[in-house]
Amino acid sequence: MYETDDWSERLARWDEARTRLRLRVYPDAWVAQRRAVIARADYPGLQAVAVLDLPKAVAVVTPEHLACWNQSNDDVLAFALANSLAEVTESEVQLRGQVGLVLVHGEHMYTSAHSLAPERHLPNLGRAGAIVSLPCRDLVLLHRVGQAPLDLALMTMGELTRAAKEADSAALSADLFWFRGLGAKPVRIGTSEGVSFVTAIADEQVMREMRAIALTHAG
């Protein structure tokens, strides 16, 4: 294969560039400081940004890249997600009291992309969905709604989220989200930022719906 140290030349070729695409999750504030990015905003306050994973750097994908490759936003984001999910991670199941959790962790900054595909780690994830948190870029926490009493699950998830965020130099978010199944946007339901418990954020209607679904899918 033709080789060159000029990455701008190599990445002008779509066949080369698409293998380098990844999704890296950033806070909204970081994205707002950039001129233009290719991103998907699934979780409130966070955006999964398309980047190019290079040997010694990470480069943000721009609209100019898309024009060069003759690709759409959706196509680039799809390749970036697939490549990120293909990176090596470990999925660890834990039982904290009554609360079952899945910890997805890896030694790279793209692990947080797994928050976009909880069904990979919670098979047959139905309408009840999951509680998800992204405390840092190399860890995603998941809990299947209905597996345990909702208040207990929120408290347990909050404690783990807060501890992981505070221990990491590349922290992302202390928030908890309700992933409501495929086709529905996740909802920000609470935060454990700076407190020893989870502070509810979602309005009462959302919380009532979540409690009802948790009871329906209990067990």
Predicted confidence at residue 10, as pLDDT, reads: 79
CA pair distance 64, 70, nearest whole angstrom: 10
Q: Which of 71, 68, 67, 31 is nearest to 48 (CA)?
A: 31
**3: pLDDT strictly greater than 60:** no
Q: 11-20, 79-88, 117-126: which has the highest mean pLDDT?
A: 79-88
Q: pLDDT digit string (tens) for 41-64?
A: 999 999 999 999 988 888 899 999
Q: pLDDT digit string (tens) for 98-142?
A: 999 999 999 999 999 999 999 999 998 888 999 999 999 999 999
pLDDT tier at 30, thresholds 50, 70, 90: very high
CA pair distance 215, 219, nearest whole angstrom: 9
pLDDT tier at 2, thresholds 50, 70, 90: very low
CB 71 within 8 A of CB 15: no
